[in-house]
Amino acid sequence: MALEPFRVPVPGWEGASGGFFYLPEFLSFSESDSIDAAPSLKWKQLAHRRLQSWGGQILERDGRLVPEPMPPFLTTHPRLLARIRDTTAFHDSIHKEPNHCLVNEYMAGQGIMPHNDGPTYFPAVATLSLGGHVLLDIYPWREAREAYPTTPLFSILQEPRSLLIIQGDAYRNYLHGIAERTQDDAPRMANVANSAQLSAPLNDLVDAARRGENVLCSRERRVSLTFRDVERVQRGLRIGR
């Protein structure tokens, strides 16, 4: 699959490698239901969201993955893992496909601080969104110890059932975060970079926001699955033996 037709237009991107790619309707409604019905036993409650981790444990000591087989809900119908491999997002990584998946659940009003996913992973992440829409805010990169940026450069609106791929310089040179809001107002909606790639009602909403109309877009529960390749894998060691 060629990713180029799905590129999110980012000002000043010329000459950089990789990019942001938005694939709407990556799953059908029924396929998305079967993923959302995934095992619910593994949730770990964090301060601002719930989290599941699949594919194995990443060692804090050296960032190596102690691998575990991927669960059936990612490998059997609708073959999500294989379909993500087929996007070619991970073609240049050692395993050529993701070996790790984090599932995040956010209720309306919950989010994640601006951050960079860092060098533990091959510089590509593929994020499937389920449930409600969200605005992923993109900021210029800065050291974690520096003050958090407050104004995003732009946002990417992720619709349910869409896949977002962040690759290469887009992965390395920016921070991403989700603001803790229950609704997105006109100034936020006007800053959406992938408006032309959205379904007609949301594209209209962004247009209205840009005309200065007083639009509001409410958030709901959203579940994201983020896929990455941990290139350094611990061989010959299995947890639980």
Ligand X SMILES: O=C(O)CCC(=O)C(=O)O
CA angle in degrees (0–180, nearest 5) for 72-92-171? 85
List of residues 6+ apart from 143 with CB closer than 8 A: none
What dihedral do alpha carbons 152, 158, 164, 170 form, nearest 10°?
Answer: -10
Report the alpha-carbon distance of residue 22 to residue 41 in Å, rounded.
30
**In 3D, which of 232, 231, 228 has the Cα closest to residue 85?**
228
Q: Please give the residues from 95 up to 154 whose contact with Fe ion meets the rule CB under 5 A.
A: 117
Query: Closest approach of Cβ 117 to Fe ion, in Å?
Result: 5
**For Fe ion, the closer CB: 31 or 117:** 117
**Are the CB atoms for 50 and 223 separated by under 8 Å?**
no
Q: Which does 102 bind (CB under 5 to 8 A by kind): Fe ion, ligand X, none?
A: ligand X
Q: Is 176 in the site for ligand X (CB under 6 A)?
A: yes
By the rule CB under 6 A, 127 interacts with ligand X: yes
Task: Choose, by CB under 6 A, the member of 117, 169, 180, 207 that binds ligand X.
Answer: 117
Asked if 107 touches ligand X (CB under 6 A), the answer is no
* Beta carbon nearer to ligand X, 24 or 208: 24
Q: Which of 32, 52, 87, 104 binds ligand X (CB under 6 A)?
A: 104
The answer to the question of residue 224 lying near ligand X (CB under 6 A) is yes
In angstroms, the CA 78 to CA 201 distance is 27
Q: Does 102 bind ligand X (CB under 6 A)?
A: yes
For the purposes of burial, counting CB atoms within 10 Å of the CB of 172, is it exposed (0-12), middle (13-18) or buried (19 or more)? Answer: middle
110 in contact with ligand X (CB under 6 A): no
Site residues (vs Fe ion, CB under 5 A): 117
Site residues (vs ligand X, CB under 6 A): 102, 104, 112, 117, 127, 136, 176, 224, 226
